[in-house]
């Protein structure tokens, strides 16, 4: 079956020919008209008609784009409203974590800035590097919340990939100290990605390039337990067949091809981003700990359990035909509090 545009052009051509033939009285006249039509450069005519139709369509779309976009936005707002109704409590949990970490970080930075300069000197580069990294992951965490609210689970998980990498970088920097931190900061003015890590002294001089994998294999965090999740995030962010056919947002159904927003798949980026934020915050606050920062590290890490429980239970409530995420054997933070009381 011909496409609409080609069919329209063919029908138009045939209608024009039929109109010309309607008024003829003899076969000779009809044959002459048919001959003239056969001699026409149809390719050129069709190209000209395609161009004119494209120009007309462009003009029409320009004249009506406001109306079309308003209709699209109305559908968008309907989705966002339903998404908020379904996931409201979960989103509140994530936003609460963002607020508590931000406020704790502000208090921690104030504490460090009030310390004697002589005491700060031994941790200056490490603190500076981690201050910027922590600010970056806070922003990324908020980006992930925004993407989840808008129904973009795969985009949210792609942002978590960056948070995970910064977690490994943070562990490496805080493990190997000032020389590495200084090299990391100075590398911001170069095109090198990981050469700063040579300052740690753990890599052979014969090693031509240092990769992210080299760094994560030489930090204090056990990257092996995250290998599967990190590989999944890589597949999602790159042009892989797995990331194309098995996206988080398509409910593991190859016949469903998400082209916009979806309410499925957001539990994974929600949980993982909370863990990464807590890990980096803990490393940051440990550089110059205080009573306030030790307390903050504890309740921020506790909040991971709150986020996991709320997101998992919400998912199970919404997608009742899917495999359950929450198991009664899992830690319920509310139950833990009741036991303590």
CB 311 within 8 A of CB 271: yes
Query: How is 94-148 classified by DSSP, letter by letter?
Result: HHHHHHHHHHHHHHHHHHHHTS-HHHHGGGHHHHHHHHHHHHHHHHHHHHHHHHH
51-65, 134-148, 282-296, 323-337: least confident range:
323-337
Contact (Cβ atoms closer than 8 angstroms) between residue 246 and residue 157: no
Give the residue from 89, 82, 80 showing the smallest Cα distance to 267: 89
Residue 25 domain-assigned? no
Instruction: Tell me whether residue 139 is in a domain.
Output: yes
Q: Is residue 49 part of a domain?
A: no
Nearest to 228 by CA among 236, 331, 151, 152: 236
Is 322 domain-assigned? Answer: yes
Model pLDDT for residues 244-280, shown as the tens digit of each residue: 887 888 766 557 788 899 999 999 999 999 999 999 9
Q: Is residue 61 one of the residues assigned to a domain?
A: no
Sign, CA dihedral 158-161-162-163, equals positive
Q: How far is CA 254 from CA 181, 190, 250, in A?
A: 45, 43, 8
Asked whether residue 81 is assigned to any structural domain, the reply reads: no
Domain count, the chain: 1
234 within 8 A of 251, measured Cβ to Cβ: no
In a domain, 315, yes or no: yes
Q: What pTM was computed for the model?
A: 0.84
Condensed to tens digits (0 to 9), the pLDDT of residues 35-50 reads 766 666 566 777 777 7
Considering 1-15, 53-67, 229-243, 281-295, the range whose residues carry the highest mean pLDDT is: 281-295
In a domain, 321, yes or no: yes
| DSSP string for 173-231 | HHHH-HHHHHHHHHGGGSS-SSGGGGGGS-S-TT-----HHHHHTTSSS-GGGGHHHHH
Domain that holds residue 297: 90-340
């Amino acid at each position: 079956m011909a496409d609409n545009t080609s069919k329209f052009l063919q029908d138009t051509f045939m209608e024009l020919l039929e109109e010309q033939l309607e008024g003829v009285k003899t076969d000779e006249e009809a044959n002459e008209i048919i001959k003239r039509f056969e001699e026409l450069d149809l390719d050129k005519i069709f190209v000209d008609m395609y161009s004119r139709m494209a120009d007309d369509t462009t003009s029409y779309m320009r004249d009506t784009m406001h109306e079309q976009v308003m209709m699209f936005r109305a559908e968008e707002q309907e989705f966002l409203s339903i998404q908020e109704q379904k996931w409201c409590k979960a989103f509140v949990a994530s936003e609460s974590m963002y607020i508590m970490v931000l406020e704790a970080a502000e208090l921690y930075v104030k504490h460090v800035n009030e310390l004697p300069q002589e005491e700060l000197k031994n941790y200056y580069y490490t603190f500076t590097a981690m201050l910027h990294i922590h600010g970056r992951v806070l922003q990324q965490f908020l980006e992930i919340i925004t993407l989840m609210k808008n129904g973009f689970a795969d985009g949210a998980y792609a942002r978590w990939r960056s948070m995970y990498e910064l977690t490994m970088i943070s562990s490496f920097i805080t493990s190997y100290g000032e020389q590495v931190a200084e090299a990391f900061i100075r590398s911001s003015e170069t095109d090198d990605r990981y050469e700063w890590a040579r300052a740690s002294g753990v890599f052979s001089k014969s090693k031509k390039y240092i990769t992210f994998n080299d760094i994560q294999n030489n930090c204090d965090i056990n990257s092996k337990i995250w290998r599967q999740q990190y590989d999944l995030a890589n597949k999602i962010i790159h042009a892989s067949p797995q990331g194309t056919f098995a996206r988080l947002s398509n409910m593991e159904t190859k016949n469903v091809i998400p082209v916009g927003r979806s309410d499925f798949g957001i539990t994974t980026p929600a949980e993982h981003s909370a863990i990464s934020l807590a890990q980096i915050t803990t490393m940051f606050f440990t550089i110059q700990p205080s009573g306030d920062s030790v307390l903050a590290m504890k309740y921020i890490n506790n909040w991971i359990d709150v986020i996991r429980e709320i997101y998992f239970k919400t998912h199970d409530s919404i997608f009742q035909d899917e495999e359950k995420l929450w198991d009664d054997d899992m830690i319920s933070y509310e139950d833990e509090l009741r036991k303590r009381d």
